[in-house]
Amino acid sequence: MTTTLITGANKGLGRETARRLLAAGHTVYIGARDEARGRAAAADLGARFVHIDVTDDASVTAAAEQIAADGGLDVLVNNAGVEPRLAGNAIPTAADESVEDVRATFETNLFGGLRATQAFVPLLLESPAPVIVNVSSGLGSLGMLSDPDGFTHFYTGLSYPASKAAVNAATIQLAKAYPTIRVNAVEPGFTDTELNGHTGTQTVEEGAEIIVRMAQIGPDGPSGTFVSSRGPLPY
């Protein structure tokens, strides 16, 4: 039985990923910082619940201890994330975001994922087929972001794409550091979720497809890649 933890899984892409992996036979932990919502989602889906706030060391440590006591972990999906928006759901410009704003975004999107990864790596290394999926974004592709003809060039915010580019870089380096763990970054696409004020053009079912696929790769699968449902993406 494959045991999987998904952070930020009480709603959106995380919840849909949990639903699909449960259907595929995984034992799934719904990781959430809001205990009431997390427990409700876990109960509704038939999953397990673990309280985890990826911005808090003690919370992450406690979650790792709970899952270790329950028997271990095979797959970690670093899904928890934030995207700053202004009043009326407007996308900020680089001029709108202070250093503190950028730091807050990095705290969840980059440092939170790294904090969870470092806490759970000891458990993953005991698995016969360990996997880490880092939920990134097409906005983290510097090649596409800088291309005037690229579909992400319009985006004006600073902290979100910068944090996701850092997630991509971390994915490469973690794959080098842990050659027995399959570590990959995925781009779900512009999905209708609370993160973007429900402006996305894809359903959560469509967005979760690549997360689910990469969560199920075997020991001979790729590592250190950045992929969407359409194939590899440029860093």
Residues forming the active site: 160, 164
Which pair of structure tokens corresponds to residue 209? 């497809």
Spatial separation of the C-alpha atoms in residues 126 and 76, rounded to whole Å = 13
CA distances (Å), origin 190, targets 12, 147, 162 = 12, 18, 17
Spatial separation of the C-alpha atoms in residues 223 and 177, rounded to whole Å = 11
Q: Give yes or no for a contact between 77 and 133, defined as CB atoms under 8 angstroms apart.
A: yes
At 41, give phi and psi (nearest 5°): -65, -40
Contacts with 112 (C-beta within 8 Å, 6 or more apart), sequence order: 7, 54, 55, 78, 80
Which pair of structure tokens corresponds to residue 1? 């039985």
